[in-house]
Structure 1
Amino acid sequence: MYAAGWYILIFVFSALVLLPVAVTWVTKWIKWWKYLRYLRSLPSPPRHWLMGHVSQMDMGEANVNRLTRYHIEFPDLYVSFFGPFLPNVVITSPEHRKTILKSTEPKADFYYFLVDWIGDGLLLSSGEKWFQHRKMLTPGFHFDILKSYVPIVNEVTHTLLDIWQEHSDKGTSFNVVDYASLYTLDILLRCAFSDHSSSCLVEKDNSPYVNAVHEISKIPVLRMRFPPYHPNWIFKLSPLGRKFHGCIKILHEYCDKAINKRRKQLLEDSGSLSKKYVDFLDILLSAKDEQGYGLTDEEIREEVNTFMFEGHDTTAAGLYWILYCLATNPDHQEKCRSEARQVMHNKDDVSWEDLNKLTYISMCIKESMRLYPPVPMIARKLSQDCELDGYKLQKGTNITIHVNAHHHNPKIWPDPEKFNPLRFSIENVKLQDSFAFTPFSAGPRNCIGQNFAMHELKIAVAHIVNRFYIGVDPSHKVERFLSLILRAKYGIMLKLHLA
């Protein structure tokens, strides 16, 4: 009887403790279920009762065109589902889109598939941490810093052109995608780490770091499309997860080694390095907040990996799509060549002062980014309830903005499939909504490195058209492929001959 009394007391006590928790969870589930029913009542393309819209997410050319069509069929928003219970609200209205981009809402759940790689850096962080880091890193992209990178871009571009000269001499076509990726990675390694010890363009696949960068960027999208891999513990046990974490080990070890080496140099040099230019790692190591606190080694690694992630494949895609556009639009290519020769005027390099003079090349790059935005989608997660013209969206809702579809919307861009650089003339830009063209996102969470990327692309294009005529291989089919980056599914085969 004595023991039974204790059991009763334990049971009552447990019930009193657990009941409020149970009530809270049940209340949350009921609220979520009602919200899910509400989302199912909103505009949505036809979907499978179990799989939702997963079968439509093939990422190829058909899906690219489908998403563009949905922007016309659903002028405000529509809901897509990963299976029966994972909703995603796609914003199609320009005004609703602007509302989301003007906010500092954190990134959507999908981006957290990247967290083991890039950590809680600028891309993924939110709130006070994001605000402080953004403020601390902004000086690193000041024009005085970017100016010092111009000789580096020129140097790597000369290496690229010398390699391409061999293809030109032989008259053979080649896949520009592979070279563009190595080219931008070379530049980033030199600008981020002052790493001149290796050349990605020359060594190609001989560097473990280069191989890891190439492999790791493909994996998060494969994981996203396979829901059983969404839980971390399952993914880590899978072959894909082991490959992902093997790449992470290589990347983090490289970064940690560079940070430790640079810290040691700073101590030996009493806080200042005798270098030709200040690289991104220097900026991170010297960054301080209002209280004089700097970043930890882990935070520095997060920001460096974020910088490498956001500045590598995206700029590479920007380069190979602009070259494809110029190859298929020879009249505009000739205008770029004429401008490059006038600005460079028989010089070997593009100078800092030359960049603002490359106006037509700049317009062509922007028009290429409209047709083929390197980052084809932006995803956010609502941190508070939101109402958009009567649509009531709850806190925690994942929101997607399809940049590519928006850039091809005929209501915003007349004759959207035509390559027309004059859309970005000074006169026409004044008439545009500032949120109509968003290859670098927009609002407070826009890409902090967009000027760096544009300078890199302008220098590359000026050099390339100055030296070569660019044509396409007519036997090769070019198709878009939606990933974290808007890729060319089968690559892009170009032919060059001396101009």
Structure 2
Amino acid sequence: MLMPAFHFNILKPYMKIFDESVNIMHAKWHLLTLEHNACLDMFEHMNLMTLDSLQKCVFSFDSQCQEKPSEYIASVLELSSLVAKRNQQILLHMDFLYYLTHDGRHFHRACRLGHDFADAVIQEQRHTLPSQGVDDFLQAKAKSKTLDFIDVLLISKDEDGKELSDEDIRAEADTFMFEGEDPSYDTRTSGLSWVQYNLAMHPEYQERCGQEMQEFLKVCEPKEIEW
């Protein structure tokens, strides 16, 4: 049921989203250089850029989290940190003990906030579906060039024609937004940050990469990286 979300025709238009998210990050870096800031936390910037892209691809939602605080993104980051911390404390693996602690109460609050956000998006998009019908819904989405992950789940049916419940859809969306699976934002952030660090440590390779991109962009119209 999830496989259509990974079809090339679904993924290709996401390149425009990635371009936009990276451009926002580059603009922030440009301002930092104008202010003569020599150092920045690469992981933090890559983290926000990745989460920005994920939110747009999973929910079709622009939180502008790279430019201003986002309550939902803050809950994602807090939950990731709390899960890692909890894993190191065996006694707190038991829920009834964990929820009595300070961290447990924060975890419960952040979970509720994250679930409320996802539920609101799912409900809004589900209400659009009956009024349009699946075919009209897909045509409208085709005009906007992107079909997000929630869209694919909403129109999915099993072999018996049964749709996914809102709770099922939210669980799948959470899997993508939070830790625990290969597509998680933290995996991507770590990989991208490590690449940037190594390019900074080896400027001769950074120069070669830059030259290759400049040559590519000379023949690229419009001046965007496409699939």
Q: TM-score, normalised by structure 1?
A: 0.42
- Counterpart check, 1:189 vs 2:55: yes
Q: 1:283, 1:290 → 2: CA distance?
A: 16
Determine whether 1:228 maps to 2:54: no
How far apart are the structure 1 equivalents of 2:209 and 2:7? 27
Q: Distance in 1 between matches of 2:46 and 2:82?
A: 20
SS at match of 1:202: coil
Q: Which residue, out of 281, 287, 305, partners 2:150?
A: 281
What's the secondary structure of 1:282's corresponding residue? helix
Q: Is 2:106 the partner of 1:243?
A: yes
Match of 1:489 in 2: none
Report the counterpart of residue 491 of structure 1 in structure 2: none
Once the 2 structures are TM-superposed, how far is the Cα of residue 332 of structure 1 from its aligned partner?
1.8
Does residue 1:350 correspond to 2:219, yes or no?
no
Give the number of the structure whose residues are more often helix, by fraction: 2
* Cα distance between partner residues in 1 of 2:162 and 2:217: 44
Aligned-partner Cα distance in 2 for 1:227–1:155: 42
Deviation at 1:323, TM superposition (A): 0.4
Deviation per CA, 1:136-184, whole angstroms, max 9, x where unpaired? 1122111111101111111111111111101222331111111111111
Alignment-derived partner of residue 202 in structure 2? 329
Q: Distance in 1 between matches of 2:89 and 2:95?
A: 13
In the alignment, the residues of structure 1 paired with residue 87 and residue 28 of structure 2 have an alpha-carbon distance, to the nearest angstrom, of 37
Q: Which has the higher contact order (CA 8 A, sep 6+)?
A: 2
1:153 to 6, 14, 18: 18
Amino acid across the alignment from 1:180: M
How far the C-alpha of 1:346 sits from its partner, in A, is: 6.6
**Identity %, equivalent residues:** 35
Q: Which digits, 9 at most, give the CA deviation of each residue in 1:171-200, with x for residues without a partner? A: 31111111111111111111111113x311
Are 1:301 and 2:170 matched, yes or no? yes
The alignment partner of 1:217 has SS state of: helix
Contact 1:160 1:201 in 2 (8 A): yes
1:289 CA displacement: 2.0
- Establish whether residue 267 from structure 1 lines up as the match of residue 136 from structure 2: no
Q: Deviations over 1:436-467 (max 9, x none)?
A: xxxxxxxxxxxxxxxxxxxxxxxxxxxxxxxx
1:218 is aligned to 2:93: no
- CA deviations over 1:249-292 (Å, ceiling 9, x no partner): 00000000000000001112122421311111001111122222
SS at match of 2:157: coil
Alignment-derived partner of residue 200 in structure 1: 65
| Aligned-partner Cα distance in 2 for 1:174–1:351 | 28
Whichever residue aligns with residue 247 of structure 1, its letter is A
> Higher strand proportion, which one?
1
Query: In the alignment, does 2:8 pair up with 1:143?
Result: yes
The CA deviation string for residues 77-117 of structure 1, in whole angstroms up to 9 with x for no partner, is xxxxxxxxxxxxxxxxxxxxxxxxxxxxxxxxxxxxxxxxx
1: CA distance, partners of 2:27 / 2:73: 21
The answer to whether the 8 Å contact 1:285/1:295 transfers is yes
Compute the displacement of 1:209 (Å): 0.5
- The one-letter code matched in structure 2 to 1:334 is E
| TM-score, normalised via structure 2 length | 0.89
**1:434-473 superposed matches below 5 A:** none
Secondary structure in 1 aligned to 2:158? coil
Q: Is the 8 A contact 2:176 2:184 kept in 1?
A: yes
State the structure with more CA Rg: 1
1:114-153 equivalences in 2 (<5 Å): 136-153=1-18
Distance in 1, Cα, partners of 2:202 & 2:7: 34
Query: What SS class does the counterpart of residue 195 from structure 1 fall into?
Result: coil
Q: 1:176 aligns with which of 28, 32, 42?
A: 42
Is contact 1:216–1:244 with CA below 8 Å preserved after alignment? yes
Distance (whole Å) between structure 2 residues aligned to residue 311 and residue 230 of structure 1: 22
Aligned to 1:292: 161
Maintained 8 Å contact 2:64/2:70 = no
CA RMSD in angstroms, aligned pairs only: 1.4
Does the 8 Å CA contact 1:180/1:320 hold for their aligned counterparts?
A: yes
In structure 1, distance between residues paired with 2:158 and 2:115: 25
Contact 1:188 1:311 in 2 (8 A): no
**SS of equivalent to 2:66:** helix
Gap regions ≥5 residues in structure 1: 1-135, 353-499
Q: Is residue 177 of structure 2 the alignment partner of residue 312 of structure 1?
A: no
Partner letter of residue 194 of structure 1? S
Q: Give, in whole Å, the separation in 2 of the partners of 1:188 and 1:221.
A: 21
